[in-house]
């Protein structure tokens, strides 16, 4: 029984982390808007998460370690980031450190981008195709999404050869799957279901005859 509860607990923990990260991200975005530093802060966040942390994983381990005191981290943050990032982001890093929340930097970056897009009227669209999407089809897709959702789409395109053909589009919680793979799987399920029904019908007729 214990194993059945582990995924639920993990999901709740992830949702809780995302909620807290969104609160911090919204506060950061509000502060950045007041100082006209929205894009600067976005670049700072991206540079830290995708640049510094990826190139130097030990820096992330240091900043998120519970074994390192806040005063030590504060000094490192000031020496390392103050000359290189916006004033808003520098102050934000110190606030996160004071609240011992530096481990939230990754989900905060995700939430900040999402909130920034929402306020700018943009929406993220994930597209998967078996082969790269031609420019003309990409533009038609963009225009269809604009006309339908009345928002500016940000397309994240990915090639997935397993789809065989067709396209899969995801916009937030909405999923449109027109891939060849899914059609084949649906057809296979339909054939199996039909075959099972015919077998059962044959058994019923045989039982009646007997």
What are the CA-CA distances from residue 111 to residues 8, 46, 80, 85 (Å)?
22, 12, 24, 19
CA–CA separation, 28 vs 105, rounded Å? 12
Would you say domain 2-118 falls under CATH 3.40.109.10? no
Q: Using the CB atoms, write b or e for 93-104: b if 16+ within 10 Å.
A: bbebbeeeebbb
Position with higher pLDDT, 132 vs 8: 132
Q: What is the pLDDT of residues 81-92, one digit of tens each?
A: 888 899 999 999
- For 159, the enclosing helix (H) or strand (E) is strand 152-159
Residue 101 has pLDDT above 50, yes or no: yes
Domain map (residue ranges) of the chain: 2-118, 124-210
pTM: 0.65
Q: What is the pLDDT of residues 114-131, one digit of tens each?
A: 899 888 888 888 899 988
Residue 62: CB partners within 8 Å, gap ≥ 6?
68, 73, 76
pLDDT at 210: 45
């Amino acid at each position: 029984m214990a194993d059945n509860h582990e995924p639920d607990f993990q999901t709740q923990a992830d949702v809780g982390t995302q909620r807290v990260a969104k609160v911090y991200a919204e506060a950061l975005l509000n502060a950045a808007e007041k100082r006209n530093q929205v894009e600067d802060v976005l670049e700072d966040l991206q540079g830290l998460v995708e640049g510094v942390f990826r190139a130097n994983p030990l820096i992330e381990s240091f900043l998120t370690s519970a074994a390192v005191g806040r005063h030590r981290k504060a000094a490192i943050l000031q020496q390392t980031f103050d000359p290189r990032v916006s004033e808003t982001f520098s102050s934000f890093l110190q606030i996160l450190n004071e609240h011992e929340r530096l481990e939230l930097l990754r989900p905060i970056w995700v939430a900040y981008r999402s909130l920034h897009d929402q306020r700018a009227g943009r929406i993220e669209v994930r597209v998967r195709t078996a082969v790269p999407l031609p420019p003309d089809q990409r533009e038609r897709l963009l225009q269809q999404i604009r006309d339908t959702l009345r928002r500016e789409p940000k397309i994240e395109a990915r090639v997935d050869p397993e789809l065989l053909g067709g396209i899969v589009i995801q916009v937030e919680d909405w999923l449109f799957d027109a891939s060849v793979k899914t059609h084949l799987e649906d057809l296979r399920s339909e054939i199996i279901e039909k075959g099972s029904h015919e077998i059962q019908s044959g058994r019923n007729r045989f039982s009646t005859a007997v």
